[in-house]
């Protein structure tokens, strides 16, 4: 702790010996005596020399300033502790909210896991029934009691092979569209001319129809896979499956048209510009292939592309598994956030306790340290007064003055 010091010398730490004050006072006493400001009549105990009176005034000033330093520090520590207490209160509210959210998410994980375990038991029961390995007597009860799956059957956990990555799905869908486009180009090109505008229209129709033929089954499969999800819109699932019917019809018709365009009997133009038949009933006749086989080829090709698109749409995890993974991720995130908040709260509490301990230490020892510091300062100024008188005695070199100074020093 640093106390104010007289302006005539440096300020120092508590516990200083006052050597600088003493040296300054001694030199001042010699100077005042040699300059003629002092003689044997200036050392009356009732009227001290000016410098001694100034030292007494400075001593009182230091005494008056000393208690304020500790009090200021104590108040600053208390303010910091109060701010940390406010932060702790706000953090407690946040931690309580995080604990509530974590409990809710953890409960969701348990509920989802129990539903998945129930599905696993049902699946195992059906598998055993199909294999004639077990007959569930509960289903034979009057009233249709619910069948219970085999004991101990549970979900194996999210450790099975994942579905196709999204980038692979998109690549396959793009490949299916690329397969369909040439078929549609031939079909629509047959009905259009050879001008540039008609070719542009042909490609627009071809790409659009190919995209619809692939994306429609894909969306149907996607919605069909999510039919078990709670809150899923059942009409959307039904609509997707219903739209498969016109999709299959389009596949059949477009496949048939592609085959019929390919099977058009070949012709040639004679020297007069007339179209002349080459005598073939069908373009497939030289290949010894029937028209029906060619038609079936293109129809099945479009069916296969639609079926693959449907499978890709359905190639994702069961909705309950997806919900379990999302809930688990949310639970882990809540746990991490809660742990971080608790760690920060513990740090704040530790800092606040340290501040309060320091404040209590200052308050408990303030009186003792103040008395000790006051004694140190008083002794330093008394030594300075004696040094001033000693310097004055040396400067005067007068036996009468020495006796008066000695008597005054004994009274200090």
List pLDDT tens digits, range 104-114.
888 888 888 88
Tell whether 2 is covered by a domain: no
How many domains does the structure of the chain reveal? Answer: 1
Contacts of 128 (CB under 8 A, 6+ apart): 134, 150
| Domain boundaries, position 216 | 165-316
210 within 8 A of 188, measured Cβ to Cβ: no
> What is the chain's pLDDT, residue by residue, as a tens digit (412 residues)?
333 344 333 333 333 455 677 778 888 777 777 777 766 666 666 677 778 788 888 888 777 766 555 677 777 888 888 888 888 889 888 999 988 988 888 888 888 888 877 777 777 777 777 765 545 555 444 444 444 445 555 665 565 666 778 888 899 999 999 988 888 888 888 777 677 888 888 898 889 888 988 888 888 888 888 777 665 566 776 777 777 788 788 888 888 887 777 776 666 666 665 555 655 666 666 666 677 787 888 888 888 988 899 999 888 877 777 777 888 888 889 889 989 988 888 888 888 888 888 888 777 776 677 777 778 888 888 888 788 778 777 777 766 666 666 767 766 6
pLDDT digits (tens, 9 = 90+) for 125-169: 777 777 655 455 554 444 444 444 455 556 655 656 667 788 888
Tell whether 370 is covered by a domain: no
Run of H or E residues at 275: strand 275-277
Rg (CA), the chain: 51
Print burial letters for 305-324: b (CB count within 10 Å at least 16), e (below 16). Answer: bbebbbebbbbbeebbbbbb
Tell whether 331 is covered by a domain: no
Q: Find how far residue 261's CA is from the centre of its chain.
A: 61
Tell whether 384 is covered by a domain: no
CA-to-CA distance for 105 and 143, rounded, in angstroms? 37
Tell whether 213 is covered by a domain: yes
Tell whether 294 is covered by a domain: yes
Tell whether 257 is covered by a domain: yes
CA-to-CA distance for 3 and 13, rounded, in angstroms? 7
Tell whether 297 is covered by a domain: yes
Contacts of 116 (CB under 8 A, 6+ apart): 155, 318, 320, 321, 324
- The closest alpha carbon to 221, from 308, 123, 304, 160, belongs to 308
Print burial letters for 66-94: b (CB count within 10 Å at least 16), e (below 16). Answer: beebbeeebeebeebbeebeeebeebeee
């Amino acid at each position: 702790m640093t106390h104010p010091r007289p302006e005539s010398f440096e300020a120092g730490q508590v516990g200083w010996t006052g050597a600088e004050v003493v040296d300054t006072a001694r030199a001042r006493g010699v100077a005042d005596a040699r300059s003629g400001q002092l003689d044997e009549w200036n050392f009356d105990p009732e009227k001290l020399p000016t410098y001694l009176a100034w030292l007494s005034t400075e001593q009182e000033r230091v005494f008056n300033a000393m208690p304020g330093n500790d009090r200021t520090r104590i108040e600053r520590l208390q303010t910091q502790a109060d701010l940390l207490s406010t932060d702790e209160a706000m953090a407690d509210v946040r931690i309580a909210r995080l604990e509530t959210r974590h409990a809710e998410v953890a409960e969701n994980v348990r509920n989802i896991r129990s539903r998945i375990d129930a599905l696993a038991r049902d699946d195992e029961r059906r598998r055993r029934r199909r294999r004639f390995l077990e007959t569930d007597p509960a289903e034979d009860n009057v009233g249709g009691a619910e069948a219970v799956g085999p004991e101990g059957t549970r979900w194996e956990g999210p450790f099975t092979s994942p579905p196709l990555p999204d980038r692979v799905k998109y690549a396959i869908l793009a490949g299916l569209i690329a397969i369909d486009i040439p078929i549609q180009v031939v079909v629509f090109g047959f009905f259009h001319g050879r001008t540039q505008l008609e070719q542009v229209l042909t490609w627009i129709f071809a790409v659009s129809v190919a995209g619809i033929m692939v994306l429609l089954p894909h969306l149907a499969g996607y919605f069909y896979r999510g039919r078990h999800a709670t809150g899923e819109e059942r009409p959307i699932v039904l609509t997707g499956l219903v739209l498969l019917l016109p999709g299959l019809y389009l596949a059949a018709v477009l496949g048939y048209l592609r085959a019929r365009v390919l099977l058009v009997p070949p012709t040639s133009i004679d020297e007069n510009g007339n179209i002349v038949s080459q005598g073939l009933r069908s373009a497939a006749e030289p290949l010894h292939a029937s028209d029906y086989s060619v038609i079936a080829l293109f129809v099945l090709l479009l069916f296969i592309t639609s079926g693959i698109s449907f499978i890709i749409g359905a190639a994702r995890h069961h909705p309950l598994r997806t919900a379990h993974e999302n809930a688990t991720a949310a639970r882990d995130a809540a746990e991490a956030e809660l742990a971080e908040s608790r760690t920060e709260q513990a740090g704040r509490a530790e800092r606040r306790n340290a501040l309060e301990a320091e404040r209590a230490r200052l308050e408990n020892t303030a009186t003792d340290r103040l008395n000790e510091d006051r004694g140190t300062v008083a002794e330093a100024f008394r030594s300075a007064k004696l040094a001033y008188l000693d310097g004055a005695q040396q400067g005067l070199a007068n036996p009468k003055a020495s006796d008066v100074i000695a008597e005054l020093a004994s009274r200090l």
